[in-house]
Every structure is written in C-alpha cells, then in structure tokens.
Chains A and B, each alone.
Chain A
C-alpha cells in the first residue's frame, strides 16, 4: 500500500485499487487528485487488467476543498498550471488501455465527479448523490467535466446539472446516463471488483487493450478513421490467433 496526497494505491490479484483516502468527505488535495508521474507508475504494471477508484469510508469524494482553490486562485500562474496538470491526469486515466471502474457511494461532487466521469464504468450505491457545485462559487468544472458530462447526458441535462449546481440522486443519475449500475451501499466495492474480474478474467491483455483502444477511438476519431483502426487491430489479433492455431495443429501431428 502506497499513499500520496491522501490517495492510496494497492494491487489485489490483477486489479489495481485507487482509494480517495481523506475521510470523511475525501476532499481532493490536488485538482488532478494524484500526480501524473505517480499515476503512470502505478498503472504501468503489465499484469494489471483493471482499476477501481473508490472512496475511503462512506463517501466517494466531495471534490476539491474551496479554501484550497481560492488560495491557489490568488496565484494565477499556479492555478493554470495545476489545472492543466489535473486535466492531463484525468486524460491519462480515461485513455488507459485497461478498464477503470468508479465505485461510488455517498457524495460525488465537483472534482470527485470529474474523476468518476473519466472512468469507463460507473457503479454507485442507492444513496449516492451527484453534483457540480462549482457554479455556486462563480466557477465551472475545470478538468473536462463539462465536456465529459455533455458526452454522456446530452446538452440539456448537462446544462441543468452544471448551471443549477443542484444535487441529483442515483436514480436520476442513471436515467441521464451519468452512472451505469446502481447497487445497495454495502455492495458497491464488491460488485465493481467482481464486474472487473468477470470482464477480464478469461481475456488476454492484447484483447483487452484492443477493445479499450477502439473505445478511445470512438470518443476521438471520425467513424472512417475509427473503423480503419478497428479493422487493423482485428487483423493483428487474427494473425496472432491464426499462427497460434496453426502451431498447435502442427504440435498435434
């Protein structure tokens, strides 16, 4: 177990677990929650097949602490730099070639919600609450949360969430495609862990990586480019599989 900026890391089997570890509300110390170099180091183990992000105790995260933010804003260059770093961290997370699941219970606000939106699958408890409270303080989500939110919920619903600063519950969040699964609060972590295991257990890493790359392409490329890549990745795997089958047939002889 390793800890930096109140974020802990451990590996269980072939699943990495990132815990937002600043109870009770798990406020984030840095906008990007963990330094990029640290995240890269943690996620570089080549046997990892998936990652879970969860909060310590009852909550996922209340986001950044306002006093910290205002302290940083006084120094304009500093805030720009740390926001850029934060964005790079969330982009790195989103572009990982293994699935990332956010296991959310209790509150998931502001920066916490931005982290959750950078994950590939969101599991939440029945009592989870979501909000972008930034607007109440005259700012907006600054780590790509607005764009990621539009992408999932469509324009009108994202507007309402971001402009109102209001809280929504798990059911509403699922209805607007902000979360993918709702489970009882005792089960959030176990459900997420089992889901990741079920998805990745029988799959070799090159297959998992190819699926994740294709999903990334779906977010960032035109349909023509994305399909060209999908066919190329299929062809690479097919070539390896054909050689493997050929090899095993020769052995049988």
Chain B
C-alpha cells in the first residue's frame, strides 16, 4: 500500500494507527482544497484495512482555525443556485459533500480520535465533534464563532453540541460565538480528557492502541472510564 501525497494533509501509518495531520500552516485553515482532499483521505483510510485507528491533529501549534470565511463566501456566491428573487434554490455540491464527509468519519468502524492543541474553531470544532473521542492539550481554545459574522455553524455543529452538552449550552455557545478553554470544554463534555500539551500525541497513541483492539462505538463511555480516567 502506498499512501498518496496530499498538499493540505499529511497522512502516515504507524503500527496500525493512521496519523492524519491538518497541514496548512500557520493555523491550518480549512481551505476549499483541504475539504476535497479530506474526503479522499477518508475514503483511502476506509478502504485500507491496515488502518486500525485514526488520530486527527493539526501541524504545529494549532489544530485548526476553521474554514477560510471570505473564500467560502465567494465560492457560495459563485456556485449557489438561486431563483429570480435571489433566494437559494440549491445548496452547492461542495457544501453538501463537506457534511457528508463528517457523517462518513463518524460511521468509521475504527476509532477516530481528535488530538487538539491550540485553536480549534468553527468547522474544525465541528470536525472534532464527529470523531469518536476528543483529547486536548491544556492550552486548547475552542469556539463556534460563526454567529459573530452573521452566520451559523453549518456542518452539524449545532446538532452535535446539542446532543453532547445539552440545548441550553449549545444555544449559549453558538449565539455568543466566544471562545472557551479546555477546562470549560471538559465541563461541557466536549472533550474526554485534558492532558499537558507535550503528552497529547503519546497519550492519544496509547489510547488508540487500547481501543482499537475491540472498538465498538456503543462502548465509548466504557473506554473513557477504563483508559482515560
């Protein structure tokens, strides 16, 4: 098996664990190209049984600052189909593909772990919310800031936050749009464990090695109790 080269993502396989690194420094913003490549990477991982776990992290100091909003707006203006009054009639395919990729990620039969350092904002947090487990460094900063530029999270972030943290918290976090710390993220049940940032990748790998032995998503709470507490 030869792993293809991607320009916005680094993918390596070590001892059965796929390490997927978001790689558009400095803040690993999720560009249009990133989303396209992300879908290909997920398909590649899904089709190769050598991958027995997947750890998603960001290259360098940050996980990711989320989508590149100005570019995204331009693309939507360009590609969205509208009626004569300018009302939306069809969501562009590239946007639908993005949420379908996250559904595919969630349906993986191998454990998917997001290892979060630095900022994890907007679509990046949505991506993390669709992985099975989330570990973060003490320095991690989270947020869904979309409302502060007149948008809403569009990749299932509201849905997931509502399920994980409850309706009141989802409402508060999404409407405020402000960032929050790793300690808050733990309190809101958004992350499963906070570790010193230098130990994040090794803790994630050790955890993956345990869980990938008999991974079943229904046993999520059990794995957390057994290996992370």
Please report A residues at the B interface, Cβ cutoff 8 Å.
Answer: 99, 120-122, 152, 177, 180-181, 195, 198-200, 202-204, 207-208, 210-212, 214-215, 217-219, 223-224, 226-228, 230-246
Contacts and interface: CB of A to CB of B under 8 A. Distances in A.
Nearest to B146: A234
Contact of A180 (B150, B162, B168): B168
Contacts of A198: 176
Interface of A is mostly: helix
B73 A241 contact: yes
B168 A214 contact: no
Interface of B: 70, 72-74, 76-77, 80, 82, 86, 88, 91-92, 95-96, 98-99, 102-103, 146-159, 162-163, 166-172, 174-176
B151 A234 contact: yes
Contacts of A234: 95, 146, 151-155
Among A181, A204, A230, chain B packs the most CB atoms within 10 A around the CB of A230
A199 B173 CA distance: 9
Contacts of B103: 223-224, 227
B147 to A, nearest CB: 5
Interface of B is mostly: helix
Nearest to A199: B175
Closest 9 CB pairs of A and B: A234-B154, A180-B168, A214-B158, A242-B73, A242-B77, A218-B162, A121-B168, A199-B175, A227-B156
B96 A231 contact: yes
A232 B167 contact: no
A99 B168 CA distance: 9
B158 A120 contact: no
Contacts of A243: 77, 86
A246 B76 CA distance: 13
